[in-house]
A and B are shown apart, each in its own frame.
Chain A
Amino acid sequence: MKMSKILTFMRKNPALVGFIVLFIILSIFTESFFNISNIVNVLRQVSITAILGFGMTLVIISGGIDLSVGSIFAFSAVVMASIVKGGKVLLGIIVGLLIGAIMGLFNGVVISKGKIQPFIVTLATMAIGRSLTLAYTQGIPISIFPNNFRFIGRGDILGIPVPVIIMFGIFFLVLYLLKKTKLGLYIYAIGGNEEATKLSGVNVERYKIIVYTISGLFAAVSAMILTARLNSAQPTFGQGYELDAIATVVLGGASLSGGSGGVLGTLFGALLLGTINNGMNLMNISPFYQDLVKGVIILLAVLLERSD
Chain B
Amino acid sequence: MLLEMKEITKTFPGVVALDKVSFNLKENEIHALVGENGAGKSTLIKILGGIYKPDSGEIFLNGKKVEFNSPLDAKRHGIAIIHQELMLAENLSIAENIFLGKEFGSPLNLNFHKMVEESKKYLQMLGFEIDPQTKVSKLNVSEKQLVEIAKAISSNAKIIVMDEPTATISEHETQILFEIMKELKEKGISIIFITHKLGEVYQIADRVTVLRDGKLIGTKNIEEISSEELVKMMVGREIKEMFPKYNKVQDEIILEVEDFEVIGYVAPVSFNVKKGEIFGITGLVGCGKSELALGLYGVYRTKFKKFIIDKQPLLELKSPQQALKAGIVLVPEDRKSQGLVLLLDVVQNITLPNCDIFAPSLNIKWKKATETTKKQIKDYNIKVSGEHQKVKNLSGGNQQKVVLAKFLLKKPKVAILVEPTRGIDVGAKIEVYKLINNLANSGIGVILVTSEIPEITGLCDRVMVMHRGKMIEILEKGEITPERILKAGTGLVENV
- Measuring CB to CB, which residues of chain A are less than 8 angstroms from any residue of chain B? 180-183, 185-186, 188-189, 192-193, 195-203, 259-260
Contact = CB atoms under 8 A, between A and B. Distances in A.
B239 interface: no
Interface stretch (B148-156, B226-234, B362-370): B362-370
6 contacts: A181-B364, A182-B362, A189-B344, A195-B338, A198-B299, A199-B299
B342 A192 contact: yes
B339 A188 contact: no
Contacts of A200: 320, 352-353, 406
Interface residues of B, number: 28
B450 interface: no
Contacts of A260: 343
Interface in B336-356: 337-344, 348, 351-353, 355
A199 B332 CA distance: 8
Contact of A196 (B297, B321, B324, B340): B340
B338 A196 contact: yes
Contact of A201 (B324, B339, B340): B324
B341 A188 contact: yes
A201 B353 contact: yes
Contacts of B321: 201-203
A189 B324 contact: no
A193 B341 contact: yes
B14 to A, nearest CB: 11
Contacts of A192: 341-344
Interface of B: 297, 299, 319-321, 323-324, 330, 332, 337-344, 348, 351-353, 355, 359, 362-364, 366, 406
A308 to B, nearest CB: 12
A193 B337 contact: yes
Given A188-B341, A188-B343, A260-B343, A197 B352 contact: yes
A189 B352 contact: yes
Contacts of B340: 193, 196
Contacts of B363: 180-182
Contacts, number: 74
Contacts of A185: 348, 351-352, 355, 364
B319 to A, nearest CB: 8
Contacts of A180: 363-364, 366
A56 to B, nearest CB: 19
B355 A197 contact: no
Contacts of B343: 188, 192-193, 259-260
A1 to B, nearest CB: 10
A192 B339 CA distance: 12
Contacts of B299: 198-199
Contact of B320 (A181, A193, A199, A259): A199
Given A188-B348, A189-B344, A203-B321, A182 B359 contact: yes
Contacts of A199: 297, 299, 320, 330, 332, 338-339
Contacts of B337: 193, 195-196
Nearest first, the 5 A-B pairs at minimum CB distance are A200-B353, A192-B341, A192-B343, A201-B324, A182-B359
A180 B362 CA distance: 8
A196 B339 contact: yes
A197 B341 contact: yes
Interface of A is mostly: helix
Contacts of B351: 185
A199 B319 CA distance: 9
Nearest to A177: B362
A297 B338 CA distance: 37
B362 A189 contact: no
Nearest to B13: A4
A181 B341 contact: no
Contact of B348 (A189, A195, A198, A202): A189
A88 B343 CA distance: 48
B13 to A, nearest CB: 9
A30 B143 CA distance: 68
A301 to B, nearest CB: 20
Q: Considering residues A182, A198, A201, A203, which has the most beta carbons from chain B within 10 angstroms of its beta carbon?
A: A201
Contact of A182 (B330, B339, B342, B364): B364
| Most B-side CB within 10 Å, residue of A180, A181, A186, A193 | A193
Nearest to B410: A201
Contact of A198 (B320, B344, B355, B366): B320
A165 to B, nearest CB: 24
Nearest to A203: B321
A188 to B, nearest CB: 6
A180 B368 CA distance: 13
Contacts of B362: 181-183
A192 B353 CA distance: 15
A197 B343 CA distance: 12
Contacts of A195: 337-338
Contacts of B297: 199
Contacts of B319: 203
A180 B321 CA distance: 22
Contacts of A203: 319, 321
Nearest to B364: A182
A190 to B, nearest CB: 9
A259 B352 CA distance: 14
A259 B249 CA distance: 43
A188 B351 CA distance: 12
Contacts of B330: 199
A197 B297 CA distance: 14
A189 B352 CA distance: 8
A182 B360 CA distance: 10
A183 B332 CA distance: 24
A197 B321 CA distance: 11
A199 B340 CA distance: 10
A124 B351 CA distance: 36
Which of B320, B323, B352 has the most chain A CB within a 10 Å cutoff?
B352
A136 B66 CA distance: 72
A23 to B, nearest CB: 31
Q: Which of A182, A188, A259, A260 has the most CB of B within 10 A?
A: A182
A192 B391 CA distance: 12
Nearest to A194: B341
Given A182-B355, A199-B299, A201-B321, A193 B342 contact: yes
A181 B348 CA distance: 12
